Structure 1
Amino acid sequence: MATGTPSTTDRRSLTDRLPTNAALLAVLAITAVGLLARVVALGTRIAHQDEARVAYWILRYTESGAFEYRPVIHGPFLPIVNQWVFSALGPSDFTGRLVVALVGAAMPLAALLFRTRLRDSEVVALAALFAFNPLLLYYSRFMRSDVLIAVFMVVALGGLVRAYDTRHRRWLFVAVVAAAVALSAKENALLYPVCWLAGGLLLLDARLLRGHARGVRPRETLAGLLHGALGAPSYERARSRVRARGGHWLLTAVALVVTFLAVIVFFYAPRGGGYGEPYSSVEYGLYGSLDALLGGDPGPFAAVFEEATLGTWDALVDHWAKSRDHSYLDYLQHYLNTMVAGALAVSTLAVVGTLADRYREEGPRDLVMLGFFWGVFSVAGYPIVTDIRAPWAVVHAVVALAFPAAVGLALLARWGVEALDDADREGVALAAVVLLLVAGQVGYAAGTQVYFTDHDSTENQLVQYAQSSTQELKPLLDEQVAEITRENAGTDVLYYGQEFYIANESLANHPGSTGGTGWFDRLPMAWYVEQQEYRQGRGSPGVAVTSTIRANDVKRTDRAALPPVVIALANGSRTDGGNISDIDQYLTDYEVHEVQRYGYASAFVVYVREDWEAHADVESHVFDALEPGSQPSNTSAPGAPSLQPTPAPEATVRAAGG
């Protein structure tokens, strides 16, 4: 593989002559600004339903110490890492998104891994595209794993490139660790090497065709690639080097496999013994099994290792390796619409950069063409494998197309600088206009779709439909409802209607047991209520939550004993299980707050008792009227009964996922 470094010419533009330290400083400056762009007002937006469900279960893990991999919430990276964050900084939308924001902000630094393949100006351009693309920016401010995968897999690719170019095996370990961490973030990290392999085959075919046109036999072309990797000037030297160092390479291969498995087991192994039967068969968590191993008993660690590897694979295949029953063209159209809204500049520059690099005098560079092929495969492939129409899937095409786009952006900058050197006013003006159009499109998209927006999915293509746009919910819950749950002596929150009903509240303790219940439809409300539970701490009365499907339970209950917060649907219901029209007449002394939920769903109505302080010491007896089995049993509250939930299937109705 050619290194792709620019050849020396008599006349080189200023951007080509950027010294390495100047390029490094530019990348560091871009990274700093990108970090600021990600953390400013990071916790302002109300939690998306996907964020809320994962954050809720991470908080349950923080409280209980029990966790195991469940495909419904994707990889364990965020639960494991955010459990530490929640323990140190407390749970909130800000802390939930912080890890993704920090990793996303570090992505421009990954551009430095490709400096042997790109000009310095192109490295800086790549860093800028990673930092400020609207899609990458939006989903770096979102507690979801797609940006994490993108960053870690770009680092993995950079490690492979550096290993090939420098022949230092330490870069292979960088690549393996990054890939393993990416796989712990989300399962579709597996699609990256598939795209790379497909793109690599196209590059190899092009290399063989070019060699054939010059009279070079395919075997000689392949040998040349092998020689380049081994750093040997001839086939004979390469063969002797392999023979001499075969043992070292075997040890390296074994070490790479062990390193990969160590990372996978660390993240995928259950904590605290997991959720127990029927969800897992291990009795020990990761750390308990290591203690047993050090004590001379390898059995628990063997069971944990099997659960983290084969058990994870079985769960993954069972959950995700299913047919996707949707229209490909419909999903492709949504994907392309998102590309236009959030990646128009990158897409356009990628075409420019690909054409410019393909027809340059020295021939196309492998990295640039790989980025283009990788991006095309992502655009064509993700509408097949995704289970919902989600803008975050476009992240994976953007990071690929950023490589040829960086070539296009740097080319435009060089044209402008060369025109300036030649005192070509028309050329300078044209280059300036084009660059301003690019910057303007990126800035406008970022401003209007990331910051200055109500996050309504009907107006903002970057927003997935399970996103509420009612910002008033956060102060309502963080202030008024928080005070109520802290001071109230009885039941704090009552959900009304079949859509929200759970016969046993302990079923919401972990993601394996919520199938067939109304818990998912409570989101994001459940996440904010659980935050209040955590913040009140051990020894407090806790936050008591229950639900009912009978309007008479609200009607017959003593008014003073009715919970201070009642939540119901504004209108309609997928299950025809009731809404505010059934109970509104009984809640005349409550403030009414309507909260938009997401796309197709009816809004929440949150009733808050106006004179709740006068009844704060009144023990609620609403449970006397409820159906048997519907008593509250929030096991996160101190003193609550420990219930073993009845086995339930994974949730099959979800507003978000993918």
Structure 2
Amino acid sequence: MPAPTFLSHIQSRVRVEHVFFAILIVALILRFAFLDLKLFHHDEAIHAWFSYQLLTQGTYIYDPVYHGPFLYYVTAGMFALFGDSDLVGRILPCIFGTALIPLVYCLYRMGYLSGKTAIIAGIFVAIAPEMIYFSRFLRNDVFVVFFSLLIVVAFLAWIQKGKWYYLLLAGIAAALGMCSKENMPIILVTFGLFFLYLVWSRKITLPERWLRDVILAVAVFFGVIFLFYSSFGAHPEVIFTAGPSAIEHWLNMHNQQRIGGPPYYYLLLFVLYELPVLLFAIAGVILYLRRPCGKKQVTTEEILPEISDAEFFESDGETVSGPAPPVPVPEKKNPIRDLFRRPEPPVALNRQEEFIRFAIYWTIMACLTYAYIGEKVPWLSLHQLVPMIFVAAYALSFAGKYTKPLMVLACAFLLVVTFHVAYTPADIAEPIVQVQNSEDLVELMAAIDASEKVAISSDQGWPFTWYYRGDGWDKISYYGRKISQDSVLAGDFDIIMTHDDDSYESLPGYEKKTIRLSYWIDGAATGNDPGWFWYYVTRDGKIGSINTDVFTKNSSA
């Protein structure tokens, strides 16, 4: 059989479901491979420590400095089931990060994404560097983006099918998002405004028993929040203080700009890590605004997906998934005004068009919100990246015969960056690491493991508090400050650690070595400064660090 005929035969049997299953496998591999290759980030060590304390001592009370309770309870549960370790601590973030892909598939099944757009979006979710990096990271943000998209999927299913349990699922997802991090109210307000637009424009019709469903979802929403924030009834008073304390703390952080940055901070991250997604998303907004608009009515039945299983793989590349679009009647319109125009009755919903409108709105609102917020940290880019991926996929669905080569180039870029930031077992000059514990500590902790008595003569307790939890801390004397030379020598320690800024010149009988404790990219620090272009190509830049002086007892002493 000739090769083209055989290839066509294989392609004709490939369904969208098969492609999504392959994407899911790739996503799992990229997230779970070498999961404990790098030490915990500074914040990861703190989150793991509080989860361990919850497991071993049953103590937890909400503190907005460390975000919501959901992470601590589920991580403590994982530690109880599988043991407390770096790898176990990162399993749930991996699962939630991977679970975004089935949600994309659900949007396709409900007709809100064409097969082609859904596949492209699924691929980007699977291999985007920031998605992978923070899916292998014990922080709250990957939970929040999962719950955010779950709200969207469950709400759309409720509108479409009218079943009460879909709105209940949306309420649970919203509650768990609220229990994860303090930025969830911003997301709910963003969604709520678009919902009001849909109702005002009569683009959706609420189910017949919508009031009953709303009351049930709201009751469950507040019930879940009460359970988590009250520490399952142990601290009911927190219910009345959690909101005000969170607002006060994060307003202070916004005004203080403890970790500040320019409004375009996240744009720089997207240029560094997600450049193809960013460029395609910009193109998607332009294409959407310039799309032909006519007066032909579209019924919900017309826009249900009748999708050829193999269309994404058509050899000519011209097929666009989904039903044949209605023939437009050209009409001169203002593209900005038309983006949110109120349609004339009778109104019918074109699901794919309306979802892309929502994705563009979500992207713009998220980008503006986090550009304004004073605290700039790399993991907040996830909340902007998820909707941006849908807009980028929409743009590529119009690429015709250029879809495949553009996707190859985009995937090559994303995978190269992913392998660099996620699988390099060394200190890297990348803003995505924020303040990462240095790999220099691996050798130090091996020496600590082989020692009997260790002193920390400074306030540098992290990440040792996590790595020597429980009985492991028995060998460590932590002073929380620098003590006198005579006192530290009197302890006859095998290893003595101090902050290099407030250290001992030397200690008799000890060898001194300075290593990094934690590090970050810093233009004013040590290392090469190749300029922005060569940095972008080589990623060889300057690294700032907090250092520790390590005094190791001479074996002959």
TM over 0.5: yes
Change (3 A) 1:328 1:391: closer
Partner residue of 1:481 out of 435, 448, 454: 448
Structure 2 residue 436 is matched with structure 1 residue 467: yes
Contact 1:494 1:548 in 2 (8 A): no
Structure 2 letter corresponding to 1:410? S
Among candidates 29, 36, 53, match of residue 36 of structure 1: 29
2:203 aligned residue: 225
Tell me the equivalent position of 2:412: 440
Query: What is the distance in 2 between the residues matched to 1:391 and 1:328?
Result: 11
Residues 16 and 119 of structure 2 are in contact (CA less than 8 Å); yes or no, is this contact kept in structure 1? yes
Q: Please give the per-residue CA displacement for 1:550-602, whole angstroms capped at 9, x wherever unaligned.
A: 553x325665x4222311122x2xxxxx2233xx233x335746234234553
In structure 2, the partner of 1:344 is 275
Distance (whole Å) between structure 1 residues aligned to residue 82 and residue 166 of structure 2: 34
1:96 matched to 2:89? The reply is yes
TM-score (norm 2): 0.76
Distance (Å, rounded) in 2 between the aligned partners of 1:79 and 1:462: 23
In structure 2, stretches of 5+ residues that fail to align are 1-7, 294-325, 329-351, 521-543
> Hey, what's the Cα distance between the residues in 1 that align with 2:288 and 2:430?
34
The Cα shift of 1:339 comes to 1.2
RMSD: 3.0
CA–CA distance in structure 1, aligned partners of residues 43 and 419 of structure 2: 23
1:507 match: none
Q: Which runs of 5+ in 1 are unaligned?
A: 1-13, 205-220, 231-241, 243-247, 272-283, 286-303, 417-429, 501-520, 573-577, 615-658
Structure 1 position 139 matched with structure 2 position 138 = no
Residue 195 of structure 1: how far off its partner (Å)? 2.4
Judge conservation of contact 1:97–1:143 (CA < 8 Å) in 2: yes
CA distance in 1, matches of 2:545, 2:391: 41
Residues 153 and 558 of structure 1, relative CA distance in 2, 3 Å threshold: closer
Tell me which amino acid in the other structure corresponds to 1:525. Answer: F
**1:68-467 equivalent positions in 2, closer than 5 A:** 68-115=61-108, 116-199=111-194, 222=200, 224-225=202-203, 228-230=205-207, 248-270=209-231, 285=234, 304-307=235-238, 309-322=239-252, 323-326=254-257, 330-358=261-289, 359-360=291-292, 365-387=353-375, 389-412=376-399, 415-416=400-401, 430-452=402-424, 454-456=426-428, 459-464=429-434, 466-467=435-436
Q: Conserved in 2, the CA contact under 8 Å of 1:31 and 1:105?
A: yes
Deviation at 1:178, TM superposition (A): 1.1
Q: Which has the larger radius of gyration?
A: 1
Contact 1:341/1:462 (CA < 8 Å) preserved in 2?
no
Give per-residue Cα distances to partners, 1:330-380, cap 9 Å, x unaligned: 432322110111221111122233333440565881211211121122122
Tell me how far 1:133 sits from its aligned partner: 0.9
Q: 1:41 to 1:172 in 2, by over 3 A?
A: same
Deviation of 1:71 after TM superposition, in Å, equals 0.9
- Residue pair 1:353, 1:408 contacting (<8 A) in 2 also: yes
Cα offset, 1:463, TM superposition: 2.0
Structure 1 residues 384 and 435: CA distance shift in structure 2, 3 A:
same
Among residues 465, 482, 485, which one is paired with 1:526 in the alignment?
465
Counterpart-to-counterpart distance in 2, 1:601 and 1:87: 34
- Which residue identity is paired with 2:516? V
Aligned length: 465
Cα distance in 1 for partners of 2:554, 2:194 equals 63
**TM-score if structure 1 supplies the norm length?**
0.65
Task: State yes or no: 1:542 paired with 2:474.
Answer: yes
1:585 pairs with 2:507: yes
C-alpha distance in 2 between matches for 1:82 and 1:340: 33
In structure 2, C-alpha distance between the alignment counterparts of 1:267 and 1:446, rounded to whole Å: 35
- The separation in 2 between residues aligned to 1:557 and 1:547, in whole angstroms, is 10
